[in-house]
Chains A and B, each alone.
Chain A
C-alpha cells in the first residue's frame, strides 16, 4: 500500500516491542505470582521468575470453589440476559431513527442525545432504583441500571442503518405488504450483523467487567458478581476465607497461601477475556471504524 514508508523500520519495531512489553509485563507478573510457592514469595517478594513453582493457590481455590462458582454463575447469567436485552432494545430504538420518512426522528434523537450532555448524578439515580423501583439486592440491579441501553450505541447503530440500508429496499418490502415489525426482524437485523456483533461484543464486555452496579446496589453475598468478588478480595483477602460455611477454617488461616490465592483469583477473572480475545478482536477494530460517527 505504502510506496514510501518510514525507512528506519528497526527503530519502529524497537519502539513497539518496548510498548508491547510494558503492556504485557503486569499481566505476566500476576500470572507468575499465582504460580509461585507461598514461602518463596514471602522470602523474595513478587517476581517474574519465581524460585519455586507451585499450584497450591489453584488447588486451594478449587477445593473451596463454591464462592467463585457462584460468582461466575451470577456474572454469566447477567451477561447473557443483559446483552441480549440490550441489543434488542438498542436496535429497536435505533432503527426508526434511521428512517428518513419518520417524522419523530429528530425529537427522539435529541431525547437520547441530551442524556449524553446532562445527567442527574449518582444520588437521584441511586434513589430511583432503590426507593422508587426497589430493585437493589436482586439480579435486576446488575442488569438494568445504566448498562441496559447506551446512548452511544444507539447513535452508532442508527448511523450504521442510515449508511448501509437502502431506503428502496424498505419501500419494496412495504409494497409487498410486509409489516414494519416484519421488515425489522427479517430484513434489517439480517443485514446488520456486523454492527450487532460489534455492539454485542462491547455490551458483553461491559456486563462482564461490571462491578459498579454491585458496589452500589448489592449487599447479599449470593449475588456477588465475579468482578465484585474480586474487588472485595483485593480490598480484603479474608472475604474468601470467612464464608459462613467454613468458619472452622479460620484457624487454618495462617496456612493458606494468601498472596498467591489473591493473584490466582485475578487470573481466573482475566482468563476468559484473554482466551476469547483472538476470536473477537477483529470486531473491536471493525467497531471503531463503524463508530466513526458525527452526531
Chain B
C-alpha cells in the first residue's frame, strides 16, 4: 500500500466520522426517541448474549459472574454424557416437525375452505370462533385438557372408556400417550389463528384473476390449485422459514402446563426449554442449564440462516432477508 492511498483512506474515515457526528446532531430528536427502546433491548436481549460465557464457567455466586472459574467445555461434556441431551433434542425437533407440517396443512386448508363460504356473515362467525383458543393462556388450556384427562373424573375415562367397558387410563403416568395428546392440544390451540393469517393473504388476492379464470371455464378446484395456492406461497414460505428456524425452541407452556409438570412422563414430554427451566430453577444447576440454553441458541441461529439461504437459492423473492 503506498502512502497516498493511506492518507486518502484516513481522510475518508475522518470525513465519515465528521458526517456521523453531524448526523447525530441533526437527528438528535429522532435518536432520543429511540433511546428508551434501545436501552431496553440492550438490557433484555443483548446483555444476556454476553452472559453466554456462563456456559463455560463454574458459577459461584459469592465470587460473581466474572470472577467465577473458567471450566472450558466441561458443562457441555456433562450435558452430552447423559441421555437427557439426546431425549430433549429428539423431543423438541420431532414435536416441532409434526407441528409445522400439521399446522401449515390444516391452517391453509381451513383458510381456503372459509373463503369458499358464500354467506360472508357466517364465514366471519366461524372465523371468530376458531380464533378463541389462541387468546387463552396455556394455563387455561392446561385446565381444559385436565378436564378431559383427569383420572378419576375426566371426560375421556368417565364418559368414553367406562361406558365402552374399558379400564380407566392413568394418562399422567404413561409416557406413551403423550405424543398424541400434545399434538392434539397444540393443534387445537394454534390452527385457528394460523388459518386467519392465511385467510388475510387469500383475501388480498386480486379478484380479477378469478374472474378471468371463470371466463376461461376453470373449475373452482382448478382455481384454488392454480391461483390461490401459488399466490399465498410467499406467506407460507415466510412462516415456514420462521418455524424451521424455531425448531430447536419449544413452546414451554404446552410442555409444562398441559403435562402438569409430571415427572413420570418426561421421556416423551421433556424438551430443551423445560429441561433448561428445571436445571436452573428446580435443580439449581446453572452451568448445565446455561450450556443447554447456548446449545439451543446457536443451533437455532444457524437454522434460521440456513433455511433463509436455501429459500433464497430457490426463489430470491421469498427469502426473509
Cβ contact within 8 Å between A132 and B41: no
B91 in the interface, Cβ–Cβ < 8 Å? Answer: no
Cβ contact within 8 Å between A123 and B137: no
A211 in the interface, Cβ–Cβ < 8 Å? Answer: yes
Residues 202-220 of chain B, each 1 if its beta carbon lies under 8 Å from chain A, else 0: 0110010011001000001
Cβ contact within 8 Å between B117 and A90: no
- A275–B211 alpha-carbon span in the complex (Å): 41
Cβ contact within 8 Å between A103 and B27: yes
Cβ contact within 8 Å between B48 and A270: no
- A96–B289 alpha-carbon span in the complex (Å): 38
Cβ contact within 8 Å between A285 and B143: no
Interface of B is mostly: helix
Cβ contact within 8 Å between B128 and A281: yes
- A194–B50 alpha-carbon span in the complex (Å): 38
Checking A19, A121, A131 against B294 with a beta-carbon cut-off of 8 angstroms, the contacting residue is A121
- Among residues 87 to 129 in chain B, which have CB atoms less than 8 Å away from a CB atom of chain A? 110, 113-114, 116-118, 120, 122, 126-129
Shortest C-beta distance, A48 to chain B (Å), equals: 8
- A289–B296 alpha-carbon span in the complex (Å): 32
- A208–B140 alpha-carbon span in the complex (Å): 12
Cβ contact within 8 Å between A3 and B261: no
Tell whether A123 pairs with B54 under 8 Å between CB atoms, given A19-B126, A30-B143, A33-B147.
yes
Shortest C-beta distance, A246 to chain B (Å), equals: 24
B155 in the interface, Cβ–Cβ < 8 Å? Answer: yes
Cβ contact within 8 Å between A117 and B136: no
Shortest C-beta distance, B286 to chain A (Å), equals: 6
Interface of A is mostly: helix
B255 in the interface, Cβ–Cβ < 8 Å? Answer: no
Cβ contact within 8 Å between B48 and A46: no
Cβ contact within 8 Å between B197 and A288: yes
- Among residues 161 to 191 in chain A, which have CB atoms less than 8 Å away from a CB atom of chain B? 179-181, 184
Cβ contact within 8 Å between B139 and A120: no
B contact residues vs A (CB 8 Å cutoff) = 23, 27, 29-31, 33-34, 36-38, 40-41, 43-52, 54-55, 61, 65, 110, 113-114, 116-118, 120, 122, 126-133, 135-140, 142-148, 150, 152-155, 157-159, 162, 188, 192, 196-197, 200-201, 203-204, 207, 210-211, 214, 220, 223, 235, 238, 245, 252-253, 257, 260-261, 273, 276-277, 280-281, 286, 289-290, 293-294, 296-297, 300-301, 304-305, 320-321
- 3 closest A-B pairs by CB: A124-B51, A45-B158, A121-B293
Q: Can you offer 6 A-B residue contacts whose CB atoms are under 8 A? A: A23-B188, A27-B144, A45-B162, A123-B55, A128-B51, A180-B29
